Chain A
Amino acid sequence: MALKASALKVGDSHSEQICENLSRTQIVQYAGSSGDYNPLHTDEVYTKEIAGYPSVFAHGMLTMGMTGKAVTNYVGDGTLTKFGVRFTNQVWPGDTLTAIAKVAELRNEGGQNYVDLVLSTVNQDGKEVMTGNATARIDA
């Protein structure tokens, strides 16, 4: 169901828990579906002993994908025109993430209404792991 411009105002927000106690297995599942088998995400031995990190960590794109779920749950299916993110902190096994989408602007361009969203994904300690922006077509 598409959002309606008439029912939205700047500052409105949608918040959603996008994963709980993230498992190494889900990270492996993402490696398989995306094709990104970087051992930093799937190989604890390599990541600790060679790369020098405390454990494997999630693909940035997994956080983007899970955040995308919260965004499309808010704006509807197939309505996104833009979605961009910056990865600011690593996401580790065991993390519980919440994505927040806040209405930054409501616009009309050539007769079509759009909503611009500011995105922030935080972990269980309130640390921001990803920031971003998205734009979606909405109804009048």
Chain B
Amino acid sequence: MTKLTFPVEASHIMMFARSIGDTNPVYYDADAAKKTEAGGIIAPPSFAQSVAQFNPDYFLRPKPGKAWFGSGKTATGLTEKSTSSGGLHAEQHFEFHRHIKPGDVLTVESMPGKSWEKESKRAGILKFRESVTEYRDQDGNLVITARSVGVTTERPVAQG
């Protein structure tokens, strides 16, 4: 399926750590990171998902000249009704063979996994789809194996 190149940069790791509210110096301070068990700057565990930045066709990023489904003059930029209320993230699993570090150039390949359906009281019929993503480094070694489950709901999830 899709094969992406994910160049890992120190500034991206720093911004990611800030966005999850993690002030651990191992994510931005090379000198402090050297003294930790990690031996240098590493990325936070869930950073791998930021590969979305390097997917030129990523559908959850607005693109110049293309209608966007979020609001502008009107509540949605689309003129035709979207077929679903949008997918939600149901599960995410990472297996770390080692941790990502700045300077890594990862090759990222996703493969579709199982799919299944479930009936729920809160959101109607739930359609689950799984995908497995492998992150390999510049030497071809496996760095992270990720398994993601997305769910499309029949209607918005009821609260309470």
- A residues near B (Cβ < 8 Å) are 1-2, 18-19, 26, 29-30, 32-40, 42-43, 45-46, 49-54, 59-62, 64-66, 68-69, 71-73, 76-87, 90
Contacts and interface: CB of A to CB of B under 8 A. Distances in A.
Interface string B147-158: 100000001110
Given A33-B12, A77-B42, A65 B52 contact: no
Contacts of A83: 45-46, 93-94, 96
A78 B38 contact: yes
Nearest to B49: A61
Given A30-B19, A65-B19, A87-B88, A80 B58 contact: no
13 contacts: A40-B86, A45-B71, A59-B89, A61-B46, A65-B44, A68-B22, A69-B20, A72-B44, A73-B24, A77-B37, A84-B94, A85-B92, A90-B157
Contact of A61 (B12, B61, B89, B157): B89
Contacts of A51: 85-86, 156
B75 A87 contact: no
B99 interface: yes
Contact of B96 (A18, A29, A42, A82): A82
Contact of B52 (A36, A84, A86): A36
Contacts of B18: 29, 33
Contacts of A2: 37
Contacts of B37: 1-2, 76-79
Contacts of B58: 35
Given A18-B21, A32-B15, A34-B16, A68 B46 contact: yes
B149 to A, nearest CB: 8
Contact of A38 (B33, B38, B86, B91): B86
Contacts, number: 159
A131 B16 CA distance: 22
A86 B62 CA distance: 28
A84 to B, nearest CB: 3
A33 B44 CA distance: 12
B95 A46 contact: no
Q: Give the top 10 A-B pairs by smallest Cβ distance, nearest first.
A: A84-B93, A39-B70, A78-B38, A65-B20, A35-B52, A35-B53, A49-B75, A45-B71, A33-B19, A60-B89
A1 B22 CA distance: 17
A1 B24 CA distance: 13
A124 B70 CA distance: 30
A68 B38 CA distance: 16
Given A51-B85, A87-B91, 20 more contacts: A26-B21, A34-B19, A34-B49, A37-B61, A46-B76, A50-B71, A54-B159, A60-B88, A65-B16, A65-B22, A68-B45, A68-B46, A69-B24, A71-B45, A77-B38, A78-B37, A82-B94, A83-B94, A85-B93, A87-B88
